[in-house]
Amino acid sequence: MSDTSVPAAAVAAAPDPGNVKKDGSERWTQTLRDITGGSAMISVLAVVFALIVGAVLIAFTNERVQETAVYFFSRPGDLLQAVWAAVAGAYSALFQGAIYNFRANNFLTAIRPLTETLTFATPLIAAGLGVGLAFRVGMFNIGGRGQMLIAAGAAGYVAFAVELPAGIHLIVAILAGLLGGAIWGGIVGLLKARTGAHEVIVTIMLNFVALYLIQFLLRTPGALQAPGSNNPKTPAMLPTAVFPDLFGPRYNLHAGFLTVIAATIFVWWLLSRSNLGFQFRAVGQNPSAARVAGINVKNVYMYAMAISGALVGLAGINQVLGTVTTGFGAGIDAGIGFDAITVALLGRSRPWGIFAAGILFGAFKAGGFAMQAAEGVPIDIVVVVQALIVLFIAAPPLVRAMFHLPTPGTTKKPAIRAVKARKTNEVVAK
């Protein structure tokens, strides 16, 4: 895999219709075309289409649908009714589990799912920011798991073993976690910069190293293991180091969400306002050109991976100081390191895009559990829908071809491309 292959290409390929001069009459048609064919419309359609595919899957695997399909030709209404019941039931459960529960008695209970969504979104956003930042520098950070584990271990140790006054304790624990993640990511950057070791291999390997290291520490008394216990689990975090609840004990949402907002602002500032961020983007676009322009590419790799690791580490910190404060095991990362890759892709590696994508995926996660409990639809359907959304959003020509949308920019060439795309669609269909 080439170093420069990551989303820079996708970013560069995004339509930029603003540069073309148009006269008055054309401008309106152009604006209309931009709205219907632009990226916002594509995103909406991608979500809609992914939900449709999900609905098809839910319907096909539903028992009642299968029963009624047998006598479809004598009573087609039954089948349609069963399909509707299955799909509507599942999606309304998803919505009620993720955003607003209509069945609740009062507003405060009804809004609880939304806070759950934000709780689930918190680590996803943090890790997504880390992966996205690495993408912007042209690197692929699959090491989220390791970075989260090390950060969780470091933050967790400070949180339960060190006694400090409230407030300071929390900050020190967060800093320890950030440092842990930064070191674990920084190793990757250092090796890539100094020896040219490919970051994909190194991050995968460091995932395993971190996992076994944490497993070892979790069963070593005096390290991470809870005193007087034989389980590979830490003691509960001290209350002075735990993120306070944002809206009282009624909701799970904790102040970690604020750290994630801060992280988003920081990454936005870093990438679009700072000198270092400019170097990051330059290296991401073209490392050779960046080097010629006098940027120290090796240092950029190191700084970028360290910051990326720290951001992913923030996800681990949020897990141990916010979500699971009663002590954690080696499964604390909960697959977030890998989910973060999809979040970063959906957010197109832009800070606020990742923020939105994280909340969307958090909603799917929160709603998915509710759907599984209420309707018996496995939560895995959510994963399918998420993947399809990213896939469709990544391929605007495909979505345009499917919905016969106009292509932004009315030159001849894209029109030809659209025709080509349609042809390909037929080929794929065959």
Partner 1 sequence: MSTLTQSTAPVAASAPIIKPTAAIRSWKIPITFGGFAVLSLFLFVVLGRGQRGELSTFRLSQARDVIQLPAVALPTFVTGVFVAIVLVLLAAASAWLVYRHTKIPIVFSILFALLFLVGFLAWAASGSTIPVPGLLIGTVTLSAPLIFGALGGVLSERAGVVNVAIEGQLLAGAFSSAVVASATGNPYLGLLAAMVAGALVSMVLAAFALKYLVDQVIVGVVLNVLVIGLTSFLYSQVLAPSANLNSPDVFPRLDVPLLSEIPIIGPVLFRQTIIVYVMYVAIAVVYFGLFRTKWGLRVRAVGEHPQAADTVGINVNRTRFIAVTLGGVVSGFGGAYFTLGAVGAFNKEMTNGMGFIALAAVIFGQWHPIKATLAALLFGFATNLQNVLGIIGSPVPSEFMLMLPYVVTIFAVAGFVGRSRAPAADGKPYIK
Nearer to partner 1, 173 or 202 (CB): 202
Q: Minimal distance in Å, beta carbon 392 to partner 1? A: 10
Tell me the closest approach of the beta carbon of residue 197 to partner 1, in angstroms.
4
Question: Is residue 72 close enough to count as binding partner 1 by CB under 8 A?
Answer: no
Q: Is 391 in the site for partner 1 (CB under 8 A)?
A: yes
User: Is residue 424 near partner 1 by the rule CB under 8 A?
Assistant: yes
| Choice between 1 and 292, CB closer to partner 1 | 1
Per CB under 8 A, 178 contacts partner 1? no
Contact 132, 143 (CB under 8 A): no
Q: Is 328 in the site for partner 1 (CB under 8 A)?
A: no
Take residue 397 and report the two structure tokens written for it: 């020509």
The nearer residue to partner 1, 162 or 391, going by C-beta atoms, is: 391
The one segment of 107-115, 147-155, 175-183, 390-398 that binds partner 1 by CB under 8 A: 390-398
Instruction: Count Cβ neighbours within 10 Å for each residue of 37-71 and write b for 16 or more, e otherwise.
Output: bbeebbbebbbebbbeebbebbbeebeebeebbee
Q: Does 59 bind partner 1 (CB under 8 A)?
A: no
Q: Which two tokens stand for residue 413?
A: 């060439």
Rounded to a whole number of angstroms, the minimum distance from the CB of residue 371 to partner 1 is 12
Query: How many residues in the chain?
Result: 430
Of 79, 388, 405, 418, the one binding partner 1 (CB under 8 A) is: 388
Should residue 289 be labelled a site residue for partner 1 when binding is judged by CB under 8 A?
no
Question: Least Å distance between CB 195 and partner 1?
Answer: 4
Query: Among residues 36, 92, 215, 299, which is the contact residue for partner 1, using CB under 8 A?
Result: 215
* Number of residues near partner 1 (by CB under 8 A): 58
CB 152 within 8 A of CB 177: yes
Q: Report d(CA 50, CA 56) in Å as an integer.
A: 10
Report the residue from 173, 238, 283, 398 that binds partner 1 according to the rule CB under 8 A.
398
* Binder among 91, 140, 257, 328 for partner 1 (CB under 8 A): 140
Candidates 351, 386, 407, 408; binder of partner 1 (CB under 8 A) is: 386
Report CA 88 to chain centroid distance, whole Å.
26
Min dist. Cβ of residue 250 to partner 1 (A): 32
Least Cα distance to 340 among 312, 317, 359, 303 occurs for 312
Based on the shown chain and the rule CB under 8 A, indicate whether residue 267 belongs to the binding site for partner 1.
Answer: no
Judged by CB under 8 A, which of 47, 175, 197, 236 binds partner 1?
197
Q: Give the whole-angstrom CA distance, residue 430 versus residue 424.
A: 10
Residue of 421, 404, 393 whose CA lies nearest to 33: 404
Q: Tell the smallest beta-carbon distance from residue 377 to partner 1 (Å).
A: 8
Q: What is the largest CA-CA distance in the chain?
A: 79
Closer residue to partner 1 in complex, CB, 256/408: 408
Counting contacts by CB under 8 A, is residue 390 touching partner 1?
Answer: yes
| Cβ contact 152:299 at 8 Å | no
For residue 225, state whether it binds partner 1 (rule: CB under 8 A). no
Check: CB of residue 20 under 8 Å from CB of residue 409.
yes
Cβ nearer to partner 1, comparing 76 with 378: 378
CB of 282 to partner 1, least distance (A): 19
Smallest Cα–Cα separation from 397: which of 427, 419, 418? 418
Q: By CB under 8 A, tell whether 229 contacts partner 1.
A: no
- Shortest approach of partner 1 to residue 170 CB, angstroms? 30
Place of tokens 């992966």: 131
- Residue 232 DSSP code: S
* 384-389 contact pairs (CB < 8 A, 24+): 384/53, 384/54, 384/57, 385/50, 385/51, 385/53, 385/54, 386/50, 386/342, 386/346, 386/361, 387/342, 388/46, 388/49, 388/50, 388/53, 388/54, 389/46, 389/47, 389/50, 389/346
- Tell me, rounded to whole angstroms, the distance of Cα 394 from its chain centroid: 15
What CA–CA distances, in Å, run from 196 to 79, 184, 193, 233? 59, 17, 6, 37
Site residues, partner 1 (CB under 8 A): 1-2, 4-7, 9-10, 13, 57, 61, 140, 142, 191, 194-198, 200-202, 204-206, 208-209, 212-213, 215-216, 220, 338, 341-342, 345, 377-378, 380-388, 390-391, 394-395, 397-398, 420-421, 424, 427-428
